[in-house]
Structure 1
């Protein structure tokens, strides 16, 4: 009997990437890429827990397998955050054939579930560098909804918290889905900026939700 491929768990994924938050009014969906990263991800998780905010963490297989990555992934899941498959590495997959994409995405699902259990949902997919190629179609076949790469703050090239806070304020329009990074390098400035701007928005009556759909 053949073994069925892993399934991310999204009930009705579509190829068109989601790029907005669920709901209306002063809402925003927070998504974080390239982790887990022990120091910065844990500080971010502490801040989100204190504010009772749920976010999407787009995790990289190699990061899970490195250092305390598995332990941090368990904390992400225990805190109730939602996972996205962000591939095994930081490689651009835009030119990859579908069969190679399939191998990478299924391997990443296996790495995640080796830590969290065979049924843990991974309902989203985010293409590294926003370079889609065949990845959206493969993700949908594997039960994952592609997430758009929109409203980013360029924090892979800048870690001044003042600059990033200004960019976050501009990115957080009503109904937006915002991309920041908790891994892939030193992200202390990102975490500082997220905490500052989230507190401002909460004081103004905003809610932080998951992506639409």
Structure 2
């Protein structure tokens, strides 16, 4: 968090300008072909570009929210969740526990998450409350999971969710990692009632919210996919937390 507001706005302007510039250059150098007729290239803005620009603008104007999952990966339920998110073209953020990564074939699930465009975050190695540990113990809880994730996807996480929401501020600079909490919590780990989970999230969620769920329960996975369907129908777009924090 601690991200300068003006820096975020400037970054967004630069990103949009870069996209438009690349699109024009790509067209004229043949990287992207619009298949235009000769009469359409004489000083006129290509129709295809206008359509692309309109689609981009429409997407940018949709209110953004982030769907996040703690305590995975889970060999039984995470694959079902990943398949459902892929079908819906939705990217989420997964805060992983080191011990769980090392179980069964869960390393492959981490790789799949990353390759399918999801953001991978740290949730400590043993799901211990950071504030009840010494500085050295807390450091090792985070570092061991960072190292494990990096060995799978080629880079260490930049974001983490501290278990129970308890955090030591001095670790941010020491670990070069950003803590991410949440704004909507249906307490899905306390119930198997899918409707209850869905209703709580859908009725409470608003723009820029971060939704907390868990991919280690079947009821949570079923609820998550229903939540996506309902909130997409309301016009929301799901993004990873890094994009939300930079918005």
TM range (shorter): 0.7 to 0.9
Cα separation, partners in 2 of 1:123 and 1:171, compared to 1, 3 Å: farther
SS of residue in 2 equivalent to 1:38: coil
Does residue 53 of the first structure (1) align with residue 96 of the second (2)?
no
1:114 corresponding residue in structure 2:
151
- Corresponding residue to 1:151 among 174, 184, 193: 184
Report which structure shows greater RCO (CA 8 Å, sep ≥6): 1
Does residue 96 of the first structure (1) align with residue 129 of the second (2)?
no
Moved more, 57-66 or 139-148: 139-148
SS of residue in 2 equivalent to 1:47: helix
Contact 1:88–1:107 at 8 Å: present in 2 too? yes
Alignment length (residue pairs) = 188
Decide which structure has greater helix share.
2
Does residue 162 of the first structure (1) align with residue 195 of the second (2)?
yes
Q: Considering only CA atoms, is the larger Rg found in Structure 1 or Structure 2?
A: 2
Shift of 1:70: 0.7
Contact 1:124–1:146 at 8 Å: present in 2 too? yes
Contact 1:126–1:147 at 8 Å: present in 2 too? yes
Does residue 201 of the first structure (1) align with residue 201 of the second (2)?
no
**1:1-213 correspondence to structure 2 within 5 Å:** 14=2, 26-117=63-154, 120-132=155-167, 134=168, 136-183=169-216, 187-211=217-241, 212-213=245-246
Cα separation, partners in 2 of 1:70 and 1:130, compared to 1, 3 Å: same
Q: Determine the C-alpha separation between the residues in 2 that align with 1:170 and 1:89.
A: 33
Contact 2:96–2:122 at 8 Å: present in 1 too? yes
Cα separation, partners in 2 of 1:145 and 1:79, compared to 1, 3 Å: same
Q: Determine the C-alpha separation between the residues in 2 that align with 1:196 and 1:79.
A: 20
- TM-score, normalised relative to structure 2: 0.71
Unmatched 5+ stretches in structure 1: 1-12, 16-21
Q: Determine the C-alpha separation between the residues in 1 that align with 2:194 and 2:225.
A: 10
Q: Determine the C-alpha separation between the residues in 2 that align with 1:111 and 1:144.
A: 15
Shift of 1:24: 7.0
Shift of 1:121: 4.1
Contact 1:171–1:178 at 8 Å: present in 2 too? no
1:3 corresponding residue in structure 2:
none
- TM-score, normalised relative to structure 1: 0.81
Q: Determine the C-alpha separation between the residues in 2 that align with 1:190 and 1:68.
A: 21
Contact 1:48–1:54 at 8 Å: present in 2 too? yes
Q: Determine the C-alpha separation between the residues in 1 that align with 2:141 and 2:225.
A: 33
Contact 2:194–2:222 at 8 Å: present in 1 too? yes
Q: Determine the C-alpha separation between the residues in 2 that align with 1:14 and 1:98.
A: 22
For 1:58-79, what per-residue CA distance to the aligned partner results, in whole angstroms no more than 9, with x for missing partners?
0000000011211111111111
1:5 corresponding residue in structure 2:
none
